[in-house]
Amino acid sequence: YLFMAALCLCCFAQASSNSYGRRISVRFCSSGMTLDNINREAVDRIIRVDHAGEYGANRIYAGQMAVLGRTSVGPVIQKMWDQEKDHLKKFSELMVAFRVRPTILMPFWNVVGFALGAGTALLGKEGAMACTVAVEESIAHHYNNQIRTLMEKEPEKYEELLQVIRKFRDEELEHHDIGLEHDAELAPAYTVLKSIIQAGCRVAIYLSERL
């Protein structure tokens, strides 16, 4: 009876997910990445902090769009935001699949992320793009660290999670390059602004992994 209940639950979850989610779920199962044979502590930290990071990125772009949405750079920001929405959706699915709790700091990142996006956008297009460059560079560096960590822990078990992280890392780097192409370096006190934002990102990553 327990086996039949588990089988029904698996079928229901698969049928109710979207096509991309189904492909990821099947591949996770087929590769042997299950709740029983993975390093739960490592995976919990990765999924929790990545979900928080993508949530924060969404709030940053929301703040930027609130200020610059009707300007010429609005469509550029919207396109990057749409990709971040996909990233957040995938990590939300992984949190459910692997029973990972979100960070308790989500309400804080909600406010801080929007304020950062809107505040830098008030400096103009260049300020918003400087924020994008700083944040996306930090996220890409963070994803690279996670890739190295998983590669040291029987990478064949985590290949599908590695694929997700690599794909999102590459898209974050695209956003970074878009920011540079749209005059990020012309923002007021660019170097100082970038350093401050990236210091904040490091603190956010540290806290979201642990809380």
141 assigned to a ligand binding site: no
Contact 132, 178 (CB under 8 A): yes
The contacts of residue 43 (CB under 8 Å, 6+ apart) are 98, 100, 158, 161
Query: What's the pTM value of the predicted model, to 2 decimals?
Result: 0.79
Domain boundaries, the chain: 40-209
54 assigned to a ligand binding site: yes
181 assigned to a ligand binding site: no
136 assigned to a ligand binding site: yes
Please write the tens of the pLDDT for every residue from 78-130: 999 999 999 999 999 999 988 999 999 999 999 999 999 999 999 999 999 99
DSSP code, position 186? G
Please write the tens of the pLDDT for every residue from 154-207: 778 888 889 999 999 999 999 999 999 999 999 999 999 999 999 999 999 999
According to CATH, the topology of domain 40-209 is: Heme Oxygenase; Chain A (1.20.910)
